[in-house]
Structure 1
Amino acid sequence: MKRLLLSFVLVALTTSLFAQLPISLGIKGSINSTKITTDNAIAGASSYTLNDLKADAANGFNVGAFLRLKHNKVFLQPELLYSVQKGKTTYSIPTSTTQSGLEGAVTQHMDVKSVQIPLLLGVKVLDLKVASVNLMTGPAMSFILDGSEITLNKTDGVAVDPSLYDPSNFKNNTWDWQAGVGVDVAMLSLDVRYAWGLTNVSEGVSNNDPTVIGFKNKGNTLTLSLGIRLF
């Protein structure tokens, strides 16, 4: 009951504060380019390390909505987005590993689907009358959804037996830090952001099976967004 009452008070105070600020609501769509970095260690085979690691950026998208709460030149912008991020990493697994079938050059593809909630603090740095320029930064939390997957392929294109690795080894939620610049023209908002991954997207082996390999993966993402403010 105390927690329920405290939650009610916090919601009431927040609503009261927001009610004093000019609020705008909008929808947005984005394209993103994510580079997935992989830890050099092989979980499940801790005495071995990967060789010739190389991360390549891959494209995905975001769609969702945002609020903007303004106070003079400063604004708070929470967002709710459905996000699809993809990445590719290539490396060489030593032939001395016990996981027969994984040795040699391997390409790891990641397809991460999530609900993302950025909370950005922004400031208008330039007002050109017909347009304004903003800077923004803040944290974002993502809830990883079912359907996210990791796939491994040998360099000849043959899929690796999924019993040798964990294809659904994702954390429940992740954090990153975003920063960028935006331009507002009439009811349109265009922004470019870069997000630094603060936590791993996948980590170790979820079933704790020492015969299964898992990889620590973290992503950094460049996003280009176009939004329309509805009011």
Structure 2
Amino acid sequence: MKKAIILIAITLVVSTLSAQDRIAIGLKTGFNSTKINLSDIPDGETIKNEANSGFLFGAYGRLRLIGNLTFQPELYYAKKQSDISYMTQELDQIVNANEKITFHTWDIPLLVNLRLLDLKVASIYGVAGPVASFNAQTKTDLPGYDDVETANWTFQAGAGLEFWRLTADVRYEWGMKDISKVDIGQKTDVLTFSLGFKLFGI
């Protein structure tokens, strides 16, 4: 029995040590610019939407697959905001209003990271993959616009620079489905700038 326990312990230690040259863990933070695209605007209303800024913070991991290709899952909390201005006619009056939509989400990107260029002191990489986004809270005074799905899928693609333990990248994120439960066709487009610090690993 003791020999079996020792053998299992040795196996776990060897597996952990052998995996250390293939994995990495780090922290990240940054800011974003979010725009809500509306594809189904109600008749009689004129709606314009503009991007607004937010932030994110969380962590990332890396698992080397083959060559310069790694799998990069992430988890971060994000605040996303978009400005909506609309004009509608109520009875004989034209009503103008400007409102802000704020989303608080937990995002889980499942990315492929490919090192494109090794400059010895730094490297350039590209990332792409789907993102599972879970809505934590939505704030707006627009009726119906806060009635959103609790989960959503988006897609990210971008590029970055890695130097020492630091990373800096820019990504664009496309909404893959409507986030609203009402028929107004809300999709999120997000431009993200982030900085990362590698705690350990490759």
What TM-score does the superposition give when structure 2 sets the normalisation length? 0.82
Contact 2:145 2:180 in 1 (8 A): no
The equivalent of 1:149 in structure 2 is: 139
Counterpart of 1:59 in structure 2 is: 53
Q: 1:21 and 1:150 mapped to 2: Cα distance? A: 47
On the 8 A contact 1:133/1:181 being kept in 2, the answer is: yes
Residue 30 of structure 1 is matched in structure 2 by 30
User: Which of 122, 126, 145 is matched with 1:135 structurally?
Assistant: 126
Offset at residue 120 of structure 1 (A): 0.7
Q: After superposition, give the CA deviation of every residue in 1:134-154 in whole Å (9 maximum; x if it has no partner).
A: 011100010101x321224xx
Correspondence for 1:168 among 134, 138, 146? 146
Query: What is the total number of aligned residue pairs between the two structures?
Result: 184
Distance 2:19 2:89 in 1: 60
Counterpart-to-counterpart distance in 1, 2:21 and 2:154: 27
Is the contact between residue 130 and residue 154 of structure 2 (CA under 8 Å) also seen in structure 1? Answer: yes
Aligned equivalents of 1:169 and 1:225: distance in 2? 29
1:151-195 CA-partner distances (Å, limit 9, x unpaired): 24xxxxxxxxxxxx2363111111111000011000001110000
* Aligned position for 1:210: none
Please state how far the C-alpha of 1:105 moved relative to its aligned partner.
1.7
Task: Give the TM-score normalised by structure 1.
Answer: 0.73
Cα drift, residue 108 of structure 1: 3.1
The answer to whether the 8 Å contact 1:40/1:49 transfers is: no
Q: 1:79 aligns with which of 67, 74, 77?
A: 74
Contact kept in structure 2, 1:143 and 1:174, CA below 8 Å:
yes
Distance 2:21 2:155 in 1: 25
Match of 1:92 in 2: 87
Distance 1:192 1:130 in 2: 20
Question: 1:89 offset after TM fit, Å?
Answer: 1.5
Match of 2:158 in 1: 180
Task: State how far apart, in whole Å, the 1-side matches of 2:157 and 2:21 are.
Answer: 23
- Deviation digits for residues 70-103 of structure 1, max 9, x if unmatched? 1321111000111110001112123359xxx9x6
Q: Per-residue deviation at 1:20?
A: 8.8
Aligned partners of 1:216, 1:183: CA distance in 2, in Å?
35
Asked if structure 2 preserves the Cα contact closer than 8 Å seen for 1:34 and 1:222, the reply is yes
Determine helix, strand or coil for the equivalent of 1:151.
Answer: coil
Which is richer in strand?
A: 2
Q: 2:4 matched to which residue of 1?
A: none
2:166 corresponds to which letter in structure 1?
L
1:82 and 1:195 map into 2 onto residues whose CA distance is 15
Identity %: 33
Which structure 2 residue ranges, 5 or more long, are not aligned?
1-14
Greater CA deviation, 33-42 or 130-139?
33-42
Gaps of 5+ in 1: 1-14, 43-47, 153-164, 205-213
| In structure 1, distance between residues paired with 2:145 and 2:35 | 19
**Considering only aligned residues, what root-mean-square deviation do their CA atoms show, in Å?**
2.5
Q: Which residue of 2 aligns with 1:45?
A: none
